[in-house]
A and B are shown apart, each in its own frame.
Chain A
């Protein structure tokens, strides 16, 4: 049971906001010591695993291309495309973003969008503006809620799109782990099974966005009736 100490350390470390890399290392040391391993064995095991899982970090090889394209206006181009979508409701706009994010993530284009790149400058403001048109005025709390919907939609889109792409870290991790147990699989054999969940995520989150639209419209109608 003492080996669970490492898990407790992880939880405590995150709650207390220590640097996650330090927390992970501390947890590995505590877990190893609790299991009766000597420090050098723990260090060697961690080092070997780090070296064996280098393929997880190979995805960063795409950054120079993304950087080159961004310096030449990739995001501005994307913004121009989306700007023409005015008149959309909050729910429909976020649904559009969800689909676009899922498809682009499924093609491996994860870093062309994200909280810093698209949600803050683009998705959240457009969603907020659309919500204001639907509901009349928004109070501070509702504004925050719409922004949170924008961030949540980005997460859902990228989480349940990315595993369709062959070379993403999680697919490679699955492949690597199964290899340790003598089960040889190709990334494609794994990534096709991410498609049913991707569709379910689209339906569930899309349904919730549709209900958000109905709520905002009802509020707008009530405000109109009161006036």
Chain B
């Protein structure tokens, strides 16, 4: 049966490829530590289930040590603009079609593979379909563009290097969430937030969940970290168990309430501070200032949507 482990094996191969190509990239002044970072991720994908919890912890320490002590660099190179322009004129809009193969395969596979539960893990059809879509798009792309697969891997590596350690930030924040859960942070925060909820008020509980998601996201800079905490504190015990709300609606829209917080915080550096620097704005919070007027009304809408839709 094809399970998520096949996808992890593929990811491990891709990261191992990045490590090998990265180590050979002489234009990157930190090529060996950068390559070591991707090699550790390849190890995580391939052997994460075999090296034990402490082994994984040590692996994370290695990743953080490389990134934290400025071991990540990127090389120069890439295809020059004039060449890309000429290729764009030659290939036309078929380029968009290949890009569309991935989401279309992910969508179709998600439905189709349900019919083959013996072959493909029915719980993981989306991720498996996504990986399959990538392989199909690569096959079509390499054939049509007459490029060797190594070219795709090399280009992918350069993109990955420009993303850098930010690539594992969501996974790190999810793990921090797990430690917070173990330490009972959610209970403490939830206790504080719950103090603000009027007794027996469903609307009060929904507001506390939505506003709590946004506030906690502002503090943490990432809705990924706020979500497990607020959902464990208010979402699961109050909204889902006590008031019998629909978990899919509460969690999906609750996450988006958190995204409203992301628009408001300098902690979400790659969305709010990076573009301000990139566009050379004098006010480093200029982007956040433009987002306040959208984020606050949208937060109210999200809270009302949960209230109206989840408790029918």
Contact = CB atoms under 8 A, between A and B. Distances in A.
Nearest to A176: B174
A153 to B, nearest CB: 8
Interface residues of A, number: 115
A46 B282 CA distance: 39
Interface residues of B, number: 140
Contact of B48 (A54, A59, A166, A177): A54
B263 A155 contact: yes
Given A35-B183, A75-B84, A166-B106, A174 B227 contact: yes
Nearest to A153: B290
B14 to A, nearest CB: 6
Interface string B146-159: 01000111111111
B68 A47 contact: no
B55 A28 contact: no
Interface string B52-83: 11111111110110011000000000110100
Interface in A5-25: 6-7, 10-11, 14, 19-22, 24-25
Contact of B167 (A11, A60, A116, A165): A60
From DSSP, what is the main secondary structure of chain B's interface residues? helix
Contacts of B297: 204
A20 B106 CA distance: 32
B202 interface: no
From DSSP, what is the main secondary structure of chain A's interface residues? helix
Contact of B127 (A47, A68, A167): A167
Contact of A148 (B88, B177, B286): B286
Contacts of B120: none
Contact of B291 (A46, A59, A152): A152
A112 B54 CA distance: 38
A50 B185 contact: no
Contacts of A68: 138, 141-142, 145, 147, 151-152, 155-156
Nearest to B111: A188
A152 B248 contact: no
Contact of B294 (A27, A48, A119, A152): A152
Interface stretch (B26-34, B193-201, B298-306): B298-306
B277 to A, nearest CB: 9
A11 to B, nearest CB: 6
Contact of A54 (B8, B156, B255, B290): B8
A34 interface: yes
A64 B279 contact: no
- Counting from the closest, the 5 A-B pairs by CB-CB distance are A73-B88, A67-B155, A47-B57, A47-B56, A49-B178
Interface of B: 4, 7-8, 10-11, 14, 41, 44-45, 48-49, 52-61, 63-64, 67-68, 78-79, 81, 84-93, 95-96, 98-100, 102-103, 106-107, 110, 123, 126-127, 130-131, 134, 137-138, 141-142, 145, 147, 151-160, 162-163, 165, 167-180, 182-185, 188-189, 219-221, 223-224, 227-228, 231, 236, 240, 247-249, 251-253, 255-256, 259, 262-263, 266-267, 269, 271-272, 274-276, 278-279, 281-283, 286-287, 289-291, 293-294, 297-298, 301-302, 305, 309
Given A14-B267, A76-B85, 9 more contacts: A32-B183, A50-B56, A61-B11, A67-B154, A108-B103, A148-B286, A160-B259, A165-B103, A197-B305
17 contacts: A7-B220, A43-B58, A46-B176, A47-B56, A47-B57, A51-B49, A56-B171, A58-B127, A69-B99, A71-B84, A75-B84, A120-B275, A170-B255, A173-B228, A181-B236, A190-B251, A197-B301
